[in-house]
Amino acid sequence: MTVEDIKEKISQAGFEISDLQAEKLFIYMNFLREWNEHTNLTAITEPEEIVEKHFIDSLQLMRATDCGGDIKLIDVGSGAGFPGVPVKVFCPDIELTILDSANKRLAFLKNLCEKLDIEAELIHMRAEEGGKMPKFREKFDIATARAVAGMNVLSEYCLPFVKNGGVFAALKGPAAEEELKFAEKAIDILGGRAKNIYKTVLQNAGERNILIIEKYKSTNKKYPRHGGTIKKSPL
């Protein structure tokens, strides 16, 4: 797949893309495939699938939220950089923080950001630890996560990072509405409320949803709890 192929596919998905952005995604795709040969970062390795299931899927966040200007965005459990890095490529003014608990993934992301010439703060930490730190707690306009955990668990990981008036945007598959209903109690306890569901259908990946949770009050200081407790006894 060439740079022009990537540009065409992103354009067909309805996103304006410059030559420089297409070049960066091309570098990203090849660098991800190269690293994945020795470090397990993703099960999606074919170029066409990377473009659709990683890049285009991640870019939906720009449609579901206000990613313009100098907003502060934290990508929780980012893995190989999704959705944060593709959004940063298209919205260079955002202040991006990437939090992940695995050194191997952060090593990849550090090298990736250098290759793409983008700035991001990389944090080696578990979400429940970061959510209690004054530097990160309720400091972000947007917290986002993709394929990390069920919504009732994920909300406790992410909502503590969101400032009042900000949003938690969870990238989910077809079962998003069911997950949201199951997590309503947890979301309310943590100071959030469901605002919107952004729906889209990708050509080969099928239905995708972004759950938008608005932060309307501060999260009680006892949250997030210890990681083991969050998983064993979801709110």
What does the pLDDT look like over 74-109, one tens digit per residue? 999 989 999 999 999 999 999 999 999 999 999 999
Taking every pair of C-alpha atoms in the chain, what is the biggest distance, in angstroms?
Answer: 50
- Domain that includes residue 191, residue range: 67-232
CA angle 234, 124, 42 (to 5 degrees): 75
- Condensed to tens digits (0 to 9), the pLDDT of residues 163-177 reads 999 999 999 999 999
Query: For 184-191, what is the mean pLDDT?
Result: 96
Average of per-residue pLDDT across 9-35: 97
Tell whether the model's pLDDT for residue 227 goes beyond 80: no
* Helices 151-158, 176-189: inter-axial angle, 10-degree rounding: 40
Question: Are 60 and 198 in contact, with CB atoms under 8 Å apart?
Answer: yes
Is position 2 within any domain? no
107-160: pLDDT as tens digits: 999 999 999 999 999 999 999 999 999 999 999 999 999 976 889 999 999 999
Residue appearing with tokens 């992301």: 109
Task: Identify the residue whose tokens are 């919107």.
Answer: 196
Residue 18: CA atoms inside 13 Å, Cβ hemisphere, count?
7
> What's the confidence (pLDDT) of residue 208?
94
Question: What is the pLDDT at residue 123?
Answer: 96
Asked if the structure places residue 44 within a domain, the reply is: no
| CA–CA separation, 136 and 119 (whole Å) | 18
Residue 122's CATH number: 3.40.50.150
Residue 58 is assigned to a structural domain of this protein:
no
Does residue 17 lie in a domain region? no
What local confidence, expressed as pLDDT, does residue 70 receive?
86
User: Under a CB-based contact definition with an 8 Å cutoff, are residues 42 and 110 in contact?
Assistant: no
The identity of residue 214, as a single letter, is: E
Per the domain annotation, does 174 fall within a domain?
yes
Does residue 167 form part of some domain?
A: yes
The residue among 66 and 139 whose pLDDT is bigger is 139
Q: Give the Cα separation of 222 and 235 in Å (integer).
A: 12
Q: How sure is the predictor about 69, in pLDDT bands with cuts at 50, 70 and 90?
A: confident
Residue 125 forms part of a structural domain: yes
Q: How many domains does the chain have?
A: 1
